[in-house]
């Protein structure tokens, strides 16, 4: 039987040693990852700005007949009263924070809501749809549905609410329109 | 150590090791796809995503191999536990805020499974062998007659 004090010291030393080894394993694995990456012909940039990369990738997967809108263009369109802004996210996301003036048309309810909305929108009306950011699919799908049903000027704000908020633009809360 | 406990520990070690090695392979070959999945979790800052995508699979591979070969089992199980808790926390947080997101657990393919409660439960279940290995390691750490490699050198 080990005396209590000795047991405590033994335990502390054991834990310190094992935690240090854990950190060493992680550090060596990271170093191996970096070294192998350097040797690869299709080298991957570990310091890449993924927000910008994902926004760029978003432009490449726009549905047919739908244009992509950058942040600068979005600010310009936001100031135009004739542009319809559509938030494609679920209602609770919209209520938590949306671009002021945007209408909520959650993709999940588009089958129900879209026909009524399309009756109100002239075919050549400029519509901009957005969702959370460049990795969400809702704005792309909703814009695709709108374009397929005959709207001729449908666009997706690819950066979404995430980019909008990160650039210090105004956010509205509550049920809205 | 009784034979039965030894066998259970062996199974825990092999199962955990296999899961981590298997989880690492696809991500090592496709770091860009894995980075896209990590970014979509919206938890890490965008500038950390690349490094995480590059490093995490190698950490998984390292601890998986160490567990399979039975070397440095306790620290490997510790890292496995920290990773599993981190993954479960990230999944739970995103499920709670209603995100629809890809797991990135075993595959980086775009059509790979989306995260649900079952995925979260699977990650939490993997903590059982981790705790088993950690507790047994602690017990041995206090036992002077145990494997000297596990004991502190004074």
Distance (Å, whole) CA B131 – CA A88: 43
Contacts with A13 from chain B: Cβ below 8 Å: 152, 154
Question: pLDDT value at position B41?
Answer: 84
Q: pLDDT value at position B150? A: 47
- In whole angstroms, how far apart are CA B19 and each of A128, A146, B9, B137? 44, 44, 15, 20
Is residue B35 a part of any domain in this protein?
yes
Burial class of A35 by CB neighbour count within 10 A (0 to 12, 13 to 18, 19+): exposed
Give the confidence band of A77 by pLDDT, cuts at 50, 70, 90.
very high
Give the residue-averaged pLDDT of A73-88. Answer: 92
Domain membership of residue B150 (yes or no) is: no
Query: Is B40 in CB contact (< 8 Å) with chain A?
Result: yes
pLDDT at A133 over 90: no
Instruction: Judge whether A124 lies within some domain.
Output: yes
Q: Is residue B76 part of a domain?
A: yes
Q: Are B82 and B54 in contact (CB under 8 A)?
A: no
For residues A39 and A69, state if they share a domain.
no
Residue A175 DSSP class: S
Report how far residue B9's alpha carbon sits from residue B133's, in angstroms, rounded to the nearest whole number: 7
* Residue A73: inside a domain: yes
Question: Does pTM surpass 0.80?
Answer: no
Claim to verify: residue A85 and residue A143 sit in the same structural domain: yes
Is the minimum CB–CB distance between B80 and chain A shorter than 8 Å?
no
A3 within a domain of the structure (yes/no): yes
Model confidence at A119, in pLDDT bands (50, 70, 90)?
Answer: confident
Q: Print the domain residue range for A37.
A: 1-47
Q: Is residue B153 part of a domain?
A: no
Q: Is residue B151 in a domain?
A: no
Residue A172 lies in a domain: no
Sheet containing strand A103-104, strands side by side: A66-69, A154-157, A127-130, A84-87, A103-104
Same domain, A132 and A60: yes
What range defines the domain where residue B46 resides? 3-141
Number of structural domains found in chain B: 1
Residues in A touching B42 (Cβ below 8 Å) = 132-133, 135, 162
Instruction: Note down pLDDT in tens along chain B; length 154 residues.
Output: 567 888 899 999 999 999 999 999 999 998 888 988 898 888 888 888 999 999 999 999 999 999 999 999 999 999 999 999 999 999 998 888 777 777 778 777 665 667 778 888 888 999 999 999 999 988 887 665 555 444 333 3
**A96 to chain B: closest CA residue:** B97
Residues of chain A found within 8 Å of residue B138, distances taken between Cβ atoms: 11, 14
Active site (catalytic) residues of A: 131
In the prediction, which pLDDT does B106 show? 77
Number of structural domains chain A divides into:
2
Q: Identify the weakest region by mean pLDDT among A9-23, A115-129, B140-154.
A: B140-154
Residues A126, A115: Cα–Cα separation, whole Å: 17
Rg (CA), chain B: 17
pLDDT at A127 over 50: yes
User: A3 with A70, same domain?
Assistant: no
What pLDDT is attached to residue B28?
93
Which residues make Cβ contacts (< 8 Å) with residue B148, sequence separation at least 6? none
Residue A145 falls inside a structural domain: yes
Pairing verdict, β A127-130 and A66-69 = unpaired
**Residue A44: pLDDT over 60:** yes
Inter-chain residue contact B154 with A13, CB threshold 8 Å: yes
CA torsion through residues A24, B14, B4, B133, sign: positive
Structure tokens at A29: 């694995």
* Mean pLDDT of chain A, nearest integer: 87
Q: Is residue A174 part of a domain?
A: no
Domain annotation covers residue A24: yes
Residues A95 and A29 in one domain: no
**What per-residue confidence (pLDDT) applies to A124?**
82
């Amino acid at each position: 039987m080990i005396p209590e004090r000795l047991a405590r010291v033994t335990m502390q030393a054991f834990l310190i040693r094992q935690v240090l080894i854990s950190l060493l394993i992680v550090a060596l694995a990271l170093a191996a990852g970096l070294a192998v990456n350097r040797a690869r012909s299709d080298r991957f940039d570990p310091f890449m700005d993924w927000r910008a990369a994902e926004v760029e990738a978003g432009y490449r997967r726009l549905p047919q007949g739908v244009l992509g809108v950058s942040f600068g263009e979005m600010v310009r369109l936001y100031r135009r009263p004739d542009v319809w802004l559509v938030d494609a996210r679920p209602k609770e996301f919209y209520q938590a924070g949306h671009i002021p003036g945007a209408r909520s048309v959650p993709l999940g309810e588009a089958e129900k809501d879209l026909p009524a909305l399309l009756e109100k929108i002239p075919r050549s009306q400029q519509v901009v749809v957005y969702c959370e950011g460049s990795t969400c699919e809702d704005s792309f799908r909703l814009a695709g549905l709108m374009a397929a049903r005959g709207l001729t000027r449908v666009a997706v704000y690819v950066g979404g609410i995430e980019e909008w908020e990160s650039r210090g633009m105004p956010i509205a809360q509550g049920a809205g329109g | 150590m009784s034979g039965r406990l030894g066998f259970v520990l062996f199974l825990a070690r092999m199962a955990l090791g296999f899961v981590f090695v298997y989880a690492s392979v696809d991500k090592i070959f496709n770091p860009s796809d894995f980075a896209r999945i990590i970014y979509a979790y919206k938890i890490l800052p965008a500038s950390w995503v690349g490094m995480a995508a590059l490093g995490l699979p190698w950490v998984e591979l390292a601890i998986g191999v160490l567990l399979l070969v039975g070397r440095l089992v306790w620290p490997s199980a510790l890292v496995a536990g920290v990773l599993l808790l981190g993954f479960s926390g990230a999944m739970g947080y995103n499920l709670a805020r209603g995100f629809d997101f890809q797991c990135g657990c075993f595959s980086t393919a775009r059509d790979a499974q989306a995260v649900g409660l079952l995925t979260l439960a699977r990650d939490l279940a993997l903590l059982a062998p981790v705790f088993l290995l950690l507790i047994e390691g602690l017990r041995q750490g206090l036992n002077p007659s145990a494997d000297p490699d596990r004991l502190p050198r004074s």
